[in-house]
Amino acid sequence: MSKRIVSRTVLLLSLVSLCTDMASEMLYPILPLYLKEIGFSVAAIGLLEGFAEALAGLSKGFFGTWSDNSGKRMPFVRWGYSLSAISKPMMALSSLLPWIFFARMLDRTGKGLRTGARDAVLTAESTPATRARVFGFHRSLDTAGAMIGPAIALLYLYCYPNQYRDLFLVAFLPGIAAVILSLIIKEQKTKHVASRKYPSFKAFYQYWISSPRAYKKLTGALLLFALFNSSDVLLLLRMKETGINDRYLVGVYIFYNAVYAAFAYPAGVLADRIGLKKIFTGGLFLFVIVYAGMAHGGDIYLYACLFLLYGIYAAATEGVSKAWISSLVAKENIAAATGTLSGFQSIASLVASALAGFLWLYAGAVVTFLSSALVTLLVIIYIHNKTE
């Protein structure tokens, strides 16, 4: 792998994301169980997570704009990862609702704080010819953390059943490793002249209004897709509904992340060679196949095949979409552009999960998955014909 393509900064930043995702995904499967154990109702858990994701979404555009205005990247990256690391042990220190709420808000604020600035650093460390593979490499290591984290949680809970609180302390270790690694990364010198340092609170949507037409066209398509791309939890629930046991559920989830991690960099390399649009729309077509297959249902072998395709879809779209977005905007606005899109997508995902839940309740799983597949086909046609 050429050092010119994957620089020291890209490698370190990717390792930071690996450690952070390891910590976060270690807790992802057990967080609802822990919250129920300390007295949270299902409704309270839903409200907590809804507020947390909304905060992360709304803050990405704001902090991205702030980073662009100040001309600084690494302070936002470091503080973002630090807040997320600190929030992990805080969850285990008290079971009081205000404290738990504060800890989750701190974690999501950290995500909002770092996202736009981190993507701007990755863009600065790449060229137009290598951008997709740089984002793909970062996504590959990030997703490797999402694979390792649940595996550690499974092993820990196998040895220490129901010891949820201690796992939050274990998750603090990779979180601290991420912070230490982020301190090694040097801020790239730029000729950027800082403008008004603190953006207004309207910054979470303000960039979109003045953004280039090509950016608006692409983000419009991505947001329509996001409105029908509900939480991956629904895929697991569909498997559960058709008789797949819990061990296979967790195994398939880990398998999906392994495929995602393995294909993210090759997908970026291919996108740089044959075009971002081709790889991205190819990934969306795999999404259509997966959701049509989930509507049909089947045995564990069919689901394994579907999650193989689902991992390739994720690898072909996540990093590639960020590389595509960054190619459509001015360099000094990259953090605002990627942060604004990520923020809108976070909010769209909340709506998508609610919409999918409503469809599932009143029309059934088949209609829910087929609706997503159909809308995604329309998005593919739009992107093919209307975007650059």
CB atoms within 10 A of CB 164: 22
**280 close to 382: Cβ distance less than 8 angstroms:** no
Domain count, the chain: 1
> What are the phi and psi torsion angles at 82 (to 5°)?
-65, -45
Nearest to 229 by CA among 296, 294, 141, 326: 294
Residue 28 lies in a domain: yes
CA distances from 297 to 21, 27, 236 (A): 30, 29, 12
Report the pLDDT value the prediction gives residue 2, as an integer from 0 to 100: 44
Amino acid letter for position 310: Y
Residue written as tokens 């629904």?
234
Report the pLDDT value the prediction gives residue 244, as an integer from 0 to 100: 78
Residue 119 lies in a domain: yes
Residue 318 lies in a domain: yes
The CATH number of the domain holding residue 155 is 1.20.1250.20
If DSSP states are collapsed to H, E and C, what string results for 267-317?
HHHHHHHHCHHHHHHHHHHHHHHHHHHHHHCCCHHHHHHHHHHHHHHHHHH
Residue written as tokens 């569909």?
238
Hey, CA dihedral for 70, 74, 77, 80, is it positive or negative? negative
Classify the phi-psi angles of 20: left when phi > 0, otherwise alpha if psi is within -120 to 50, otherwise beta. Answer: alpha
* Domain assignment of residue 272, given as a range: 8-186+206-386
Q: Hey, what are 196's tokens? A: 């008004």
Residue 198 lies in a domain: no
List Cβ neighbours of 56 (8 Å cut-off, separation of 6 or more).
108, 109, 111, 112, 343, 346
What is the DSSP code string of 224-248? HHHHT---THHHHHHHHHTT--HHH
**205 close to 347: Cβ distance less than 8 angstroms:** no
**373 close to 293: Cβ distance less than 8 angstroms:** no
- Coil, helix or strand at residue 86: helix
Instruction: Give the global pTM.
Output: 0.80
Segments of 167-217 assigned E as strands: none
Report the pLDDT value the prediction gives residue 46, as an integer from 0 to 100: 60
Nearest to 143 by CA among 263, 239, 279, 322: 263
Q: Any idea what DSSP says for residue 185?
A: S
Residue 336 lies in a domain: yes
Between CA 115 and CA 59 the distance in angstroms is 10
Between CA 45 and CA 59 the distance in angstroms is 21
Residue 200 lies in a domain: no
pLDDT tens for each residue of the chain, 388 residues long: 444 678 899 999 999 999 999 998 888 767 766 777 788 775 676 667 767 777 777 788 788 888 888 888 999 999 999 999 999 899 888 888 888 888 888 988 898 899 889 999 998 898 888 989 999 999 899 988 888 988 888 888 778 877 778 888 889 999 999 999 999 998 877 665 555 556 665 655 777 888 899 999 999 999 999 988 877 777 877 887 888 776 777 788 788 888 999 999 999 999 999 999 999 999 999 999 999 999 988 888 899 999 999 999 999 998 899 889 988 988 888 888 888 888 788 788 778 877 887 888 888 889 989 999 999 999 999 998 877 6
**388 close to 328: Cβ distance less than 8 angstroms:** yes
Amino acid letter for position 96: L
**205 close to 340: Cβ distance less than 8 angstroms:** yes
Report the pLDDT value the prediction gives residue 191, as an integer from 0 to 100: 60
Amino acid letter for position 214: A
Residue 264 lies in a domain: yes
CA distances from 235 to 46, 319, 334, 357, 360 (A): 18, 22, 33, 12, 12
Amino acid letter for position 20: T
Report the pLDDT value the prediction gives residue 293, as an integer from 0 to 100: 94
